[in-house]
Amino acid sequence: MTVWVKFIRYIIEHHDKVLLYTEQHLYISMIALALGFAFCLPVGIWLTRHERYAPIVIGAANVAETIPSLALLGFLIFIFGIGDANAIAALFLYALLPMLQNTYTGIKNVDRSLIEAGRGMGMTDWQILTMVELPLARPVIVAGVRVASVWTIGTATLAAAIGGGGLGRLIFAGLATIRDDIMLAGAVPAALLALLADWTFAAVERWITPRGLRVQQHGVGKAKARRKMGGEVKA
Amino acid sequence: MTGEEMTNGLMVVFDHVSKVFPDGTRAVDDVNLRIVEGEFVVLIGPSGCGKTTTLKMINRLVDPSSGTIYFKDRDIAERDPVELRRQVGYVIQEVGLLPHLTIAQNIAVVPRLLKWSAERQRVRVDELLRMVGMDPAVHRRRYPHELSGGQQQRVGVLRALAADPEIVLMDEPFGSLDPITRGQLQDEFKKLQSEFHKTIVFVTHDMDEALKLGDKIVVMQQGRVVQEGAPADLTGRGASAFVRHFIGERRMVGDPSLVAIGQWLESRAQALSRLPVIDLAAGARSACAQLARAGAEFGLGVDPDGCWVALVAAATLAADAADLSGAIREDAPAVSVADPLKAAAERLIAEDCPWVVVLDRDRRPLGVLGRSQVLVALVETMWPESGREEVKGR
């Protein structure tokens, strides 16, 4: 029997377990992502209004990013103890950088002349944000969420290492017992979840891109926007 | 205060206004300006002369460091900038149409901010689009990037006019367009302005544009107003050395492509040969009698409204003819008093005709300008001193 047949058999026999862990996995990732977004959107907007703090705050998010995931999870045990809360906290910190960076840069990259025109026409600061900046920055902001979602789902497998739930349990169990099929039963659904999140947010990105921008971005514009986005995230 | 100011009222007044930026740049230095209702004021000067800062102080995008600006007798410092800006149209060089909104939504931004009803917005947008010859059915739902640069700025201008502001500020609105499109938009805008009599404050660094559009030109240099006046005053002899330098010596001695025929005729009315004006509808007999009475070889044929139709030649006119068709020369060149002198010369050359008919702004014929008179006009305009003497001496 090849490992794939064993893997499929394991999934079928233990589908309740696989489903439960998938559910936990999604729960941990999405809570972290939602909290991260709820934090990053207002903070990112605030930073565009108080630019001198931007290097500090984004720099801090960058530092969180560079800490090895396992070390961060271990470190957070001292604060959150063992379990999902710890994992969510770590994933939250990981999710910050792409979302914060893209919210900030997305708004900063809105053409100054549009903001000037808006102000000149008598828009309040709030109206400039909601009628000009956010609609135009929306695709970039969602691109940040998309990157964060993939990272978060991938890293959530480590939650099992500090007593959290999720598909990582199967991976660690498989590793511990040298059972490829069990390990795959964790790894494959985790990878699929990450892909699914990527596709979903890509669709959202397309859907919320205003029609007036969509046509414009065909060809060079879009390639450029993509490259820029990648650059932002890596930076 | 002049009579015009008394009747029209003052729209904007700058009273000893200065602006010093935090870095110490004195962008605007003790500027005093009076902008009359319905006036088209052009602020012109080299880059960094403070013209844009001056403009932006009117809608409080920039607040003065000292001095007071009045908008309709109220100190604008006491007004809420947001509320003030919604009453002031604003057009910028970069156009600044919101790319995620349709043309209709872009035009209706200020009405929307002012909470007009959807129906009122729609009616207004359609009305404005038709005004510049853009079919609402075609253009309402388009997006800005689907339009050419010239079309975009047309929409930019409509957006500024949407809420029917009394004053429109324009910051080099046609500066980034190609010369042909720019000329077109200038003409269109001038026409719109003559229909609506908005007060316009227009910033440019292009003197041709200023002379073409402005009722009053304000020349600025290093934050100060160095000269202001009607276009004719500036191209005349009263200009300061800076103004002369800035607008170019070429124009100081007169540019036949800028001086209107009517402008030259003001001082040389006798240059125009008067010919009998003949109502073509009155028939051949009447035309014949009129020409004979005036002792003229030619008459200027007009329609019952007095508008120019064609030239009538006595030699080929038979009093008993049933109609005038045999005596009419429809190919006779005609120019308007609003056309530049250069146009008259060009018509003479193009039509190979020794004279050109001059019409007033309502297309009523005033008289005929012969080839030699056109030559005199060109010479006097280009070489005001020497030219006149030569002509006299001849």
Q: Dihedral sign for Cα A25, A30, A36, A40, please.
A: positive
Place of tokens 């009747």: B7
Read off the pLDDT of residues B265-308 as tens digits, 9 standing for 90 and up.
877 777 787 888 888 888 777 888 888 787 777 788 888 888 88
Angle in degrees, CA A191, A170, A195, rounded to 5: 10
Identify the residue among B63, B93, B100 best suited for mutation to test binding to A, counting A beta carbons within 10 A and taking the highest.
B100
pLDDT over 60 (residue A224): no
Mean pLDDT of A11-39: 94
| Cα A52 to Cα A134: distance, rounded to the nearest angstrom | 21
CB contact under 8 A, A121 and B90: yes
User: What integer pLDDT is reported at residue B254 of this predicted model?
Assistant: 67
Q: Which pLDDT does position A201 carry in this prediction?
A: 94
Among A209-213, B68-72, B180-184, B350-354, top mean pLDDT goes to B68-72
Report how far apart, in Å, the C-alpha atoms of A160 and of each of A82, A86, B149 are: 10, 11, 58
Question: What pLDDT score was predicted for residue A235?
Answer: 30
| pLDDT tops 60 at residue B82 | yes
Given a cut of 70, whether residue B237 has pLDDT beyond it is: no
At B194 the pLDDT is 84
Residues of A with CB under 8 A from a CB of B: 111, 113-114, 116-124, 127, 131-132, 135-136, 210-213, 215-216
What's the gap in Å between the CA of B123 and the closest CA on chain A? 20
Task: Please state the rounded mean pLDDT for residues B122-140.
Answer: 93
Q: Do B100 and A216 touch (CB under 8 A)?
A: no
Whether the per-residue pLDDT at B352 is higher than 80: the answer is no
**Which chain A residues have a beta carbon less than 8 Å from that of B152?**
none
Q: What is the pLDDT of residue A66?
A: 87
Please say if the pLDDT value at position B390 is more than 60. Answer: no
- CATH code of the domain in which A151 resides: 1.10.3720.10
SS3 for B316? coil
> Chain B partners of A131 at a C-beta cutoff of 8 Å?
98, 109
pLDDT, chain B, mean: 84
**How many helices and strands (H and E) does chain A possess?**
12, 0
B298-302/B308-313 β-pairing: antiparallel
CA distances to A73, B235, B250, B371 from A174, rounded to whole Å, are 21, 91, 89, 104
State how far the Cα of A175 lies from the Cα of A169, in Å rounded to an integer.
10
Facing A135 at nearest CB: one of B90, B100, B143: B100
Work out the pLDDT band at A69, boundaries 50, 70, 90. confident
Q: Are the C-beta atoms of residues B380 and B264 closer than 8 Å to each other?
A: yes
Spatial separation of the C-alpha atoms in residues A61 and B112, rounded to whole Å: 39
DSSP string, A163-225: T--STHHHHHHHHHHT-HHHHHHHHHHHHHHHHHHHHHHHHHHHHHS-HHHHTTTTTHHHHHH
In this predicted structure, what is the pLDDT of residue A226? 40
Please name the member of B85, B98, B143 whose beta carbon is closest to the beta carbon of A120.
B85
What's the rounded mean pLDDT across residues A63-74? 86
- What pLDDT shows up at residue B323? 67
Q: What is the per-residue pLDDT for B223?
A: 92
Which of A189-198, A205-214, B19-28, B300-309 has the weakest average pLDDT? A205-214
Of the two residues A125 and B212, the one the predictor is more confident about is A125
**Strands, sheet with B298-302, edge to edge from the N-terminal-most edge strand:** B277-279, B298-302, B308-313, B328-329
Given this model, what pLDDT does residue B247 score? 60
Q: Are B31 and B58 in contact (CB under 8 A)?
A: no
Number of domains in chain A: 1
pLDDT tens for each residue of B313-329:
777 776 666 667 777 77
**Integer Cα distance of A176 and A170 in angstroms:** 10
CA distance linking residue A127 with residue A129, whole number of Å: 5
Mind listing the pLDDT tens digit for each residue in B332-341? Answer: 888 888 888 8
pLDDT of residue B139: 92
Rounded (5°) CA angle B69-B75-B79 = 115
Q: Which residues of A touch B97 (CB under 8 A)?
A: 117
pLDDT exceeds 60 at position A60: yes
Instruction: Please name the residues in contact with A223: beta carbons below 8 A apart, sequence gap of 6 or more.
Output: none
What SS3 state is found at B2? coil
Q: What pTM does this model have?
A: 0.70
User: What are the CA-CA distances from residue B294 to residues B15, B49, B254, B306 (Å)?
Assistant: 59, 59, 37, 18
Q: How confident is the model at residue B83 (pLDDT cuts 50, 70, 90)?
A: very high
CB contact under 8 A, A215 and B110: no
Q: Do A122 and B145 touch (CB under 8 A)?
A: no
pLDDT category at A223 given cuts 50, 70, 90 is very low
Query: Which ipTM did the prediction report?
Result: 0.79
CB contact under 8 A, B98 and A119: no
The Cα–Cα gap between B308 and B301 comes to 6
**A52 has pLDDT over 60:** yes
Name which of B53, B98, B142 to mutate to probe chain A: the one with the most chain A Cβ atoms within 10 A of its Cβ. Answer: B98
Say how far apart CA A86 and CA A79 lie, in whole Å.
8
Greater confidence (B371 vs B95) lies with B95
Measure Cα distances from B296 to A142, B241, B301, B320, B358 in Å: 83, 50, 13, 19, 17
Asked if the model's pLDDT at residue B387 lies above 50, the reply is no
**Percentage of residues in chain B having pLDDT higher than 70:** 88
Which runs of consecutive H residues, i.e. helices, occur in chain B?
3-8, 51-58, 81-85, 103-107, 109-113, 118-131, 136-139, 149-161, 179-196, 207-213, 231-235, 241-247, 249-252, 261-267, 284-294, 341-351, 371-382, 384-393
Query: What does the H/E/C string look like for A108-130?
Result: HCCCHHHHHHHHHCCCCHHHHHH
Nearest of B340, B344, B346, B289 to residue B314 by alpha carbon: B289
Higher pLDDT, B238 or A159: A159
Percentage of chain A with pLDDT > 70?
90
**Of the ranges A75-79, A178-182, B86-90, B190-194, which is most confident?**
B86-90
Look at strands B10-20 and B40-44 and give their pairing.
unpaired
> Rounded to an integer, what distance in angstroms lies between the CA atom of residue B86 and that of residue B113?
8
Least confident of A103-107, A216-220, B31-35, B182-186: A216-220
pLDDT at site A46 = 96
Interface A-B: count of C-beta contacts within 8 A: 79
Max Cα–Cα distance, chain A, nearest Å: 73
On chain A, the residues whose CB falls within 8 A of the CB of B96 are 111, 113-114, 116-118
Q: Does the structure show a pLDDT above 80 at B68?
A: yes
Chain-chain contact of B85 with A135 (C-beta, under 8 angstroms): no
Copy the structure tokens of residue A52: 């001198």
pLDDT above 80 for A215: no
Model pLDDT, residue B253: 55
pLDDT for A232 beyond 70: no
Chain segment A146-165, per-residue pLDDT in tens: 999 999 999 999 988 888 88
> Given pLDDT bands bounded at 50, 70 and 90, which one contains residue B6?
very low
| pLDDT band at residue B264 under the 50/70/90 scheme | confident
CA of B390: how far to CAs of B3, B7, B259, B376, B384, in Å?
Answer: 40, 45, 21, 10, 10
- Write down the pLDDT at residue B251: 53
What gap in Å lies between CA A48 and CA A141, rounded to an integer?
14
Residue B353 is predicted with a pLDDT of 77
Given this model, what pLDDT does residue B113 score? 95
Burial of B262 (0-12, 13-18, 19+ CB in 10 A): middle
- Could you tell me the residue range of the domain that residue A54 belongs to? 3-234
- Which of chain A's residues have a Cβ under 8 Å away from the Cβ of B83? 122
Q: Terminal CA-to-CA distance of chain B, rounded, Å?
A: 46
Residue B303 · residue B366 · CB < 8 Å: no
The answer to which of A100-109, A130-139, B17-26, B227-236 has the lowest mean pLDDT is B227-236
State pLDDT tens for residues A100-127.
999 999 999 999 999 999 999 999 999 9
- Cβ-based neighbours of A63, under 8 Å, separated by 6 or more: none
